[in-house]
Amino acid sequence: MQIRNGFVETVGHTPLIRLRHLSEETGCEILAKAEFLNPGGSVKDRAARSIIQDAEEKGLLKPGGTVVEGTAGNTGIGLAHICLAKGYKCIIYMPNTQSKEKFDMLRILGAEVRPVPAVPFADPMNYNHQARRAAEEIENAIWANQFDNVANRQAHIDSTGPEIWEQTEGKIDVWTAATGTGGTLAGTAIYLKDKKPEMKVYLADPMGSSLYCHVKEGKLEREGNSITEGIGNGRITANVEGAPIDDAVRVTDTEALNIVYHLLHKEGLYVGGSTGINVGAAVKIARELGPGHTIVTILCDSGDRYKSRIFNPEWLASKGLLETLEQPYQDWLHAVSEQEG
Ligand code: PMP
């Protein structure tokens, strides 16, 4: 029988999609794992499941307990789903800069959402520190601690890596992904490099993140800014620590958004901004390495989570990004607005 037992068993086993146009254009096989098809809608379902299972196994979380986390959204959504499926309470601290769709979603999923100002990690009011302190004060509660809890990357050592290995039958030359916590990039890299040491791992980084410079020059320095959500970091998390990363590629918002619109327009795939960074990186790597390589990345979440932002011409214009879209994509947006008219 092919039945999965509830939400928890439905996480993972996502299809690996060949991006037809970009593969043909570059002469490389550009393959992307459809993580938006996870039951909670993003790659973070895997980390959420793994973190909760790990806490249960260690006896840190008992029936009726509470899961507390600081999250830019997708981890919270994954945790909230799994908390419902397992009977836990869920409290989420989230920077108030995140999209309205994510806040609404978490509330619908029964999480108690506590919006907090977006301040750096060094500030004690940062959402992560607030989540940790709250968990310490509640009985039978855990702080999921997705950034430094390596049960996060373990999810990808146990599931994403093996799935990609099987789906490509080991025919993979490059693995690339952007990092928020780094769990996806690092865990998948650890598994795949163990199977095939000669394959290469590239960090995909948005502007405003310090990791590109860290991989290239060994120093944590940032430059510019990005409208992408859930990715980029100013420090080396425990999940990234020691991961086999060979090189890094930086992708601008303009490049990422044109990829997002390309995927919608030409492939019928509706994805969020971090996917634009991932696929943008895959295309740059393909051009750098030349034809004949197989490059794998992930489609992190659905565009539905960003309707009011990257699919909204007024919002794009307010960020100076509307006019940086290629003309057919601007025309697409105008046609959408006229229909709404
Ligand atoms: N894309 C999106 C939309 C995300 O929310 C996240 C997680 N914050 C990532 C990518 C990166 O995943 P990870 O935390 O495993 O690095």
| 22-56: pLDDT as tens digits | 999 999 999 999 999 999 999 999 999 999 999 99
Give the range among 99-108, 126-135, 305-314 with minimum mean pLDDT: 99-108
Query: Would you state the pLDDT for residue 336?
Result: 87
How distant, in Å, are the alpha carbons of 31, 197, 273, 302, 340 from that of 268?
A: 15, 35, 15, 12, 20
Q: Which of 44, 89, 193, 284 is catalytic?
A: 44
Tokens of 162: 């093996």
Is residue 337 very low, low, confident or very high in pLDDT (cuts 50, 70, 90)?
A: confident
Mean pLDDT of 291-311: 95
pLDDT at 208 over 70: yes
Give the range among 13-22, 98-107, 128-137, 226-235 with minimum mean pLDDT: 98-107
219, 236 contact by CB (below 8 A): no
Distance 223 CA to ligand 1 centre (A): 20
Query: Would you state the pLDDT for residue 91?
Result: 98
pLDDT at 194 over 90: yes
Distance 153 CA to ligand 1 centre (A): 12
| 209-238: pLDDT as tens digits | 999 999 999 999 999 999 998 899 999 999
CATH class name, domain 6-37+158-324 = alpha beta
Atom of ligand 1 nearest to the CA of 274: 1
Give the range among 15-24, 90-99, 157-166, 279-288 with minimum mean pLDDT: 90-99
The residues spanned by each domain of the chain are 6-37+158-324, 44-143
Q: Look at ligand 1, atom 4, and give the residue with the nearest C-alpha.
A: 230
Atom of ligand 1 nearest to the CA of 71: 8
Query: Would you state the pLDDT for residue 323?
Result: 97
Q: Which residue has the higher pLDDT, 54 or 103?
A: 54
- Whose CA is closest to 159, among 278, 69, 31, 44? 44
Whether 44 sits among the annotated catalytic residues: the reply is yes
In this structure, the residues whose C-beta lies within 6 A of any atom of ligand 1 are: 43-44, 72-74, 178-185, 229-231, 272, 274, 300-301
Q: What is the CA radius of gyration of the chain?
A: 19
Q: List the alpha helices (DSSP H) in 58-99.
A: 74-86
pLDDT at 134 over 80: yes
Q: What angle, rounded to 10 degrees, do the helices at 100-108 and 74-86 form?
A: 10
Distance 301 CA to ligand 1 centre (A): 9
Give the range among 15-24, 114-123, 206-215 with minimum mean pLDDT: 114-123
Atom of ligand 1 nearest to the CA of 184: 15
- Whose CA is closest to 207, among 224, 230, 220? 224
Q: How far is 4 from 74, CA to CA, in rounded Å?
A: 22
Q: How far is 38 from 281, CA to CA, in rounded Å?
A: 23
Q: Which of 228, 231, 275 to mutate to test the pocket of ligand 1 (most atoms within 8 A of CB)?
A: 231
Query: Would you state the pLDDT for residue 341?
Result: 62
pLDDT at 241 over 80: yes
Query: Would you state the pLDDT for residue 301?
Result: 97
Q: Global pTM?
A: 0.96
Mean pLDDT of 158-171: 98
- Average pLDDT along the chain: 96
Query: Would you state the pLDDT for residue 338?
Result: 87
Query: Would you state the pLDDT for residue 127?
Result: 92
pLDDT at 99 over 70: yes
Q: Which of 42, 69, 251, 277 to mutate to test the pocket of ligand 1 (most atoms within 8 A of CB)?
A: 42
- 44-143 matches 6-37+158-324 in CATH topology: yes
Query: Would you state the pLDDT for residue 165?
Result: 98
Decide yes or no: CATH 3.40.50.10240 for domain 44-143.
Answer: no
Q: How far is 235 from 225, CA to CA, in rounded Å?
A: 16
One-letter amino acid for residue 335 of the chain: A
Q: List the alpha helices (DSSP H) in 197-305.
A: 211-217, 253-262, 273-289
Distance 340 CA to ligand 1 centre (A): 32
Distance 144 CA to ligand 1 centre (A): 15
pLDDT at 1 over 90: no
Query: Would you state the pLDDT for residue 101?
Result: 75
- Whose CA is closest to 230, among 300, 176, 132, 282? 300
Atom of ligand 1 nearest to the CA of 44: 7
What percentage of the chain carries pLDDT values higher than 70? 99
